[in-house]
Amino acid sequence: MAGKPKLHYTNGRGKMESIRWLLAAAGVEFEEEFIETKEDLEKLRNDGSLLFQQVPMVEMDGMKMVQTRAILSYIAAKYNLYGKDLKERAWIDMYVEGTTDLMGMIMHLPFQPADVKEKNLALIIERATTRYFPVYEKALKDHGHDYLVGNKLSWADIHLLEAILMAEECKPDILSAFPLLQAFKGRTSNIPTIKKFLQPGSQRKPPTDEKSIAVVRKIFNI
């Protein structure tokens, strides 16, 4: 029997967090080996573990997988979270890319200088409420299902829930104009595997703070 997937990244959210979410939602237990120093990263680079000299890296099924999107696609397909046909997969991809764009903006916010942070926070809230969340609200309204694609839990739903919770950290009432997304958040948060991941003590990482920013800057020379 194959061992648990092993995740190589810093002890923070970053690009690995969506991978943690997807594995947890699929009910897959995983181990983490944290990169805590520049030397830890160099060791991975020097032993040939990183195809493009970058993390995240996931050891799984005999592979050392890199590139976030490739890792997520593999996990989604392996655990039946990637639709039943090409059309469903295309919709899942479109929805995922949208939430990835929004999450990227939120992810980079703590690393920005104070003088632009307030302006960029306002931009995140504006984009979330006028560009991204209306799309998902309309999708749920138009087909009347519990989930975004094929009336079945998919990677798109898991990614959207992660994005919603990140956006709520920026503005707690950000879903106030989106009743169907509020209901979606409640439903998906109560799926047993996801509910477990949202409990204290899980492998979900807390919001980025000054201490973790300092560690990341040091490791990656930012």
Total length of the chain:
222
d(CA 81, CA 83): 6
What per-residue string of b and e applies to 115-140 under the rule 16 or more CB within 10 Å gives b? eeeeeebeebeebbbeebbeebbebb
| Residue 21 pLDDT greater than 50, yes or no | yes
Q: 155-170 and 114-127 helices cross at what angle (nearest 10)? A: 130
Give the Å distances, CA to CA, from 106 to 54, 72, 109, 182. Answer: 21, 19, 5, 20
CATH number attached to the domain at 6-79+198-210: 3.40.30.10
Average pLDDT over residues 16-43: 96
- CB neighbours (10 Å) of residue 92? 23
Q: What is the pLDDT of residue 1?
A: 44
Read off the DSSP letter of residue 110: G
Fold equal for 6-79+198-210 and 86-191? no
Please state, rounded to an integer, the average pLDDT across all residues of the chain: 95
Enumerate residues 6+ apart whose C-beta is below 8 A from 72: 18, 19, 22, 96, 155
pTM for the predicted model, two decimal places: 0.95
pLDDT tens sequence across 66-92? 999 999 999 999 999 999 999 999 999
pLDDT tens sequence across 31-51? 999 999 999 999 999 999 999
Q: pLDDT confidence of 3, banded at 50, 70, 90?
A: confident
Q: What is the pLDDT of residue 2?
A: 63
Average pLDDT over residues 191-210: 95
What per-residue string of b and e applies to 40-72 under the rule 16 or more CB within 10 Å gives b? bbeebeeeeebeeeebbbbbbeeebbbebeebb
| Residue 222 pLDDT greater than 80, yes or no | no
- Domain 86-191 sits in CATH 1.20.1050.10: yes
Q: So where are the chain's domains?
A: 6-79+198-210, 86-191
